[in-house]
Amino acid sequence: MSIARFAFPTAIHFGPGARALAAPHLAAVSIKRPLIVTDRGVGALPILARFRDDLVRAGLATVAFDGVAGNPVKAQVVAGVQAYRAHAADAVIGFGGGSALDVAKAVALMATHPGDLFDYAFAAATPREISAAVAHFIALPTTAGTGSEAQSFALISDAETHVKMACGDKRAACRIALGAVALHAWLRVKNVRLPRDRTFWRTAIISAVFANMWPSSNRDCICATAVAWRFSQRGALIVARVSSAS
């Protein structure tokens, strides 16, 4: 099964084993010390450990920041930037759901820009210009439905008002998104054998796209779940759940 490639406009590589493309991509742009930003749940899973092992074997020095939890707030971004600087990092890898990717995106922005994160919010009275290059940022989404890997603003909540602030601009988007990490892991955990026919995967891709487009007034409570299915040769229904709120 080959990996599908498309763009919205972010370059997205979708398919089993897509995460293996991370190390070659980082090496091609001379990245040596990436910081992985994830949440506490994903940070404890074997899939992240295996991913880090892949990067280490490729000669990359990695550190994982797993301080993301719930609706991300500015303090998590500040802590992530501190981790970035302590590691002398030269790139950010977002690994997780929408919250982890949003924090990773904001960390990449604030690693190279001064001031307060909310100075760069779309709703700021006078939004501060993103004048410098944003740290190299790639995304490995483990859910579908938030679409954080395909847009350039990070949604970070104000801890006092609970208002979500959209921070960023087109330069804050990830350079590449390597998808289907969660789909592959979810099916392995559930002991469901992945079908290899093209029809199944085309359906999965299309349904994941519709999940990202699904309207919701509360992304955290109502999520779009894409379901792709097919009948196996034995007539058993195979269901692939691509998804959920972060």
pLDDT in tens, 48-89: 999 999 999 999 999 999 999 989 999 999 999 999 999 999
Q: Which fold has domain 4-182?
A: Rossmann fold (3.40.50)
Where does CATH 3.40.50.1970 sit in the chain? 4-182
Residue 195's pLDDT band (cuts 50, 70, 90): low
Q: What are the angstrom distances between the C-alpha of 155 and each of 92, 173, 233? A: 17, 13, 44
Q: What dihedral do alpha carbons 27, 9, 147, 23 form, nearest 10°?
A: -10
Q: Does the structure show a pLDDT above 50 at 199?
A: yes
**Who's near 233: CB < 8 A, 6+ residues apart?**
none
Ranked by mean pLDDT, which of 51-55, 145-149, 235-239 comes out on top?
51-55
Intra-chain end-to-end CA distance of the chain, in Å: 28
By the 10 Å C-beta count (0-12 exposed, 13-18 middle, 19+ buried), 230 is classed as middle
* Residue % of the chain over a pLDDT of 90: 48
**Global pTM exceeds 0.85:** no
